[in-house]
Amino acid sequence: MATTDRQATTLALAHALSAAERGLAVIPLSRTKLPALRSPHRDDPGAAPCHGECGRLGHGVHDASTDPVRIRELFAAAPWATGYGIACGLPPHHLIGVDLDTKSSTDSSAALRELALRHLFTIPPTVVVLTPSGGRHLWLSGPPDVVVPNSAGRLAPGIDIRGAGGYLVGPGSRTRHGTYATAPGTAHLAPAACPPALLRLLVPPPRAHRPAPPTAGGHGQGLVQFVLAAHEGQRNTRLFWAACRAYEDGIGPALVDPLVDAALNTGLSEREARATIASAARMTGHHP
């Protein structure tokens, strides 16, 4: 490995350890901004979903840790890493990343300002990370009982959201296109609380309530199948969406156990599944 690559890896590890001291769980990234460690199950497409239960490294954001010993182990296994990713949605910050892209023909910063004016919220002072392409990542903290899904352009053109199951490239990371850096005056800040009006825009939109008999029925079975079809990185988001629809349609209580069973089938734990469904119940105005 070239000396510059070794230096980049050493710097990335130092930045990652510093982020972990602030409670941010991290993983090593390659110059492509992808997880530096490949999946140990890549040659076995028929393998059951695994989030690291096998004990090996290479499960992407599921490897993320704040433990310095674990982080050093991850970087030792990926000596080519030149950056690090920060997992979103995890305690204590439950990080939400607002990615203002410059590649879109739309001015993403102006689009965010327009959304703020229309929905009456302001972005409080928070950590801002500058990307090599001229974009910005705004770090916000979400409530622990709300699952914010990843999305691209759903909020507005040029605005991507990094939520549960996603990660942000950490400041100090070196990529093929340059280095990520904290905007002046924001490095000392903690991720600010996401404004409630913005948070409502980030979760799956509620549908109009249509009374339905309290049975799983055909629609309920369709929601269960929707959860069963989830791929890695989608499981919590799909479960949360399906549970929201179930409660809005009046079949939430009857569908809790079938949805939990479906979530277990995709690899979630029962605790994760029930917590996500309870969050959906609260979000739609019901008591889990």
Judge if the upstream peptide bond of residue 144 is cis by omega within 30 degrees of 0. no
Structure tokens at 39: 């999946």
The domains of the chain are located at: 1-85, 88-203, 217-283
d(CA 152, CA 132): 19
Question: Model-level pTM?
Answer: 0.71
Residues (pLDDT < 50) of the chain are 1, 207-216
- The DSSP secondary-structure symbol of 170 reads P
- The DSSP secondary-structure symbol of 38 reads P
The pLDDT assigned to 126 comes to 97
Query: Reduced to 3 states, what is the DSSP secondary structure of residue 172?
Result: coil
Length of the chain: 288
* Distances, alpha carbon 95 to alpha carbons 83, 155, 159, 258, in Å: 19, 17, 16, 30
d(CA 255, CA 216): 6
Which residue, chain included where needed, has tokens 């988001």?
Answer: 237
pLDDT digits (tens, 9 = 90+) for 59-85: 899 999 999 999 999 999 999 999 999
Q: One-letter amino acid identity for 178?
A: G
- By the 8 A CB rule, do 270 and 264 touch? yes
Asked if the 88-203 domain carries CATH number 3.40.50.1460, the reply is no
Closest listed residue to residue 59, CA positions, set 25, 93, 94, 22: 25
The pLDDT assigned to 265 comes to 86
